[in-house]
Amino acid sequence: MRKWSLPGVLMVAIVLICGAWARSSPPEPHFSSASLSGICRSSAFVHGYVHGYEEGFHIADLRLYAPRYAFNPPELDKKDEKAYRPEFGDKAFFRSGYRYGFGSGYADGMAGRKFRALELIRDSLTDSLDPKAFRADNLDRGLSMGYFAGRERGLRDGRLREPFRPDREVCGQQGTSEAPGFCVGIKQGYRMGYTDGYQNQYEKPGAQTASR
């Protein structure tokens, strides 16, 4: 009969535990989605946004249909942390996108609007986001900065009932030569953020028309 040493037993136990954890870890649905796989693999920011939007929309449903449900805002720190996996890319960009997405999804859900994250991404990210064309960190840096700027402008225009204009020129020549992904990200992040900001201020979202 084979005798096991303590280190050997510990090693086998670790292997078995890690194997069980790997098998129990659910596959990432956004990586297998035909409409989301490409952008979620290219951008940690957008991937985080999708996760956050889904969770925010879900929490809003609970608030509306289960009145006793109470959500504590500090829990958001745990939610974006728990949603992240190393294979998603840069953690800071993922968490930033998650928080923006959560706020937008929650606002849409509480206002009774439809789930629109996929439509927003499809309409906003219209240019090529081929990760081979530029570094992912430049793309995500541009997306996050563009989203913030667009959201602020969209909130302002929505409050003032200004025309819906998500396609303003927001990235000139500066930085385009050394970091082309940054400029692409700025433009498309702005479009996403502007739409979110405007949508959450306008009483009749369906009446939005783009002003060219």
Is the Cβ–Cβ distance between 135 and 89 less than 8 Å? no
This prediction's pTM: 0.77
Phi, psi of 27 (to 5 degrees): -65, 150
d(Cα 11, Cα 137) in Å, to the nearest integer? 37
C-beta neighbour count of 65 within 10 angstroms: 8
Residue with tokens 């629109």: 116
| Phi and psi angles of residue 168, each rounded to the nearest 5 degrees, phi first | -65, 150
Residue 128 DSSP code: -
Pairwise CA distance, residues 74 & 104, whole Å: 17
Residue 10 maps to a domain: no
Residue 20 lies in a domain: no
Answer whether residue 14 is part of any domain: no
| Domain contains 161 | yes
Average pLDDT rounded to a whole number, residues 41-62: 91
Length of the chain: 212
Total number of domains constituting the chain: 1
Question: Does the pLDDT of residue 25 top 70, yes or no?
Answer: no
Evaluate whether residue 23 is within a structural domain: no
pLDDT at residue 19 above 50? no
- The answer to whether residues 56 and 103 touch, using CB atoms and an 8 Å cutoff, is yes
Which residues touch 17 (CB under 8 Å, ≥6 apart)?
Answer: none
d(CA 63, CA 148): 27
Give the mean pLDDT of 60-81.
Answer: 74
The reply to whether 80 falls in a domain is: yes
Beta bridge partners of 210: 164
% of the chain with per-residue pLDDT over 90:
34
Task: Say what the pLDDT of residue 138 is.
Answer: 82
State how far Cα 20 lies from the chain centre: 29
Residue 3 domain-assigned?
Answer: no
Residue 43 has pLDDT above 70, yes or no: yes
**Type of residue numbered 103:** G
Question: What residue numbers bound the domain in which 163 lies?
Answer: 33-201
Backbone angles phi, psi at 164, to 5 degrees: -75, 110
Kindly report the average pLDDT of the chain as a whole number: 77
Is residue 126 scored above 80 in pLDDT? no
DSSP assigned state of 164? B
How far apart are the C-alpha atoms of 141 and 97, rounded to whole Å?
11
Exposure string of 182-195, with b = 16+ CB inside 10 Å and e = fewer, is bbbbbbbbbbbbbb
Is the residue at 164 inside a domain?
Answer: yes
